[in-house]
Structures are given as C-alpha cells and as structure tokens.
C-alpha cells in the first residue's frame, strides 16, 4: 500500500536557546499515525494528538545533545 507523507528539507535545533545547537539541511518527514506504525515508530506515542512529535536519528540526537523528553524546534 501507499502511505501519504510529506518530505521537506529543513533545519532542527535544540529547544534550549542557551545551547544553540542546530542542524541544517535535515530531512523532515511528516505523516499520520498510520504512517508512524508502518515505519515502525514508537506505538506508545499519541501520534494523532495536538502536540507535535519528533523522532530523531541517533546521529541527529548526538549532534544536538538531545535525549528523550527534550524540546526540539
């Protein structure tokens, strides 16, 4: 089957303004809860809720110094 997705090039940064860590030219992928399940993303998150959800690769998380629960912009 086909899963609708939105694929953009963007940037991400740590939500801590004092930190200033940023990644440019990041692949930003957006899809609904069904897409999250199809790609094997954590099922325990409320993908359909109002709050945005972010899943980072290990390389992106390391570069940003991010850990679960951190704010990412």
Predicted confidence at residue 61, as pLDDT, reads 93
Predicted confidence at residue 24, as pLDDT, reads 92
Q: Give the CA distances from residue 11 to residues 30, 34, 46, 66, 70, in Å, rounded to whole numbers and listed in that order.
A: 14, 25, 24, 15, 16
Q: How many other β-carbons are positioned within 10 Å of the β-carbon of residue 40?
A: 7
Residue bearing tokens 């409320």: 46
Q: Which DSSP helix (H) or strand (E) runs through 7? A: strand 6-13
Predicted confidence at residue 29, as pLDDT, reads 87
Predicted confidence at residue 59, as pLDDT, reads 93
Predicted confidence at residue 62, as pLDDT, reads 93
Q: What's the gap between Cα 5 and its chain centre?
A: 14
Predicted confidence at residue 18, as pLDDT, reads 80
What three-state secondary structure class fits 19? coil
Predicted confidence at residue 10, as pLDDT, reads 93
Render pLDDT for 8-64 as a digit per residue (tens, 0 to 9). 999 999 877 788 799 999 998 888 878 888 888 877 777 777 777 788 999 999 999
């Amino acid at each position: 089957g086909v899963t609708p997705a939105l694929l953009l090039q963007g940037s991400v940064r740590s939500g801590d303004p004092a930190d200033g860590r940023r990644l440019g030219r990041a692949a930003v992928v957006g899809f609904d809860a069904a897409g999250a399940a199809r790609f094997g993303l954590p099922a325990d998150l409320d993908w359909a809720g109002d709050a945005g959800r972010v899943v980072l690769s290990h390389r992106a998380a390391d570069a940003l110094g991010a850990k679960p629960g951190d704010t990412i912009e």
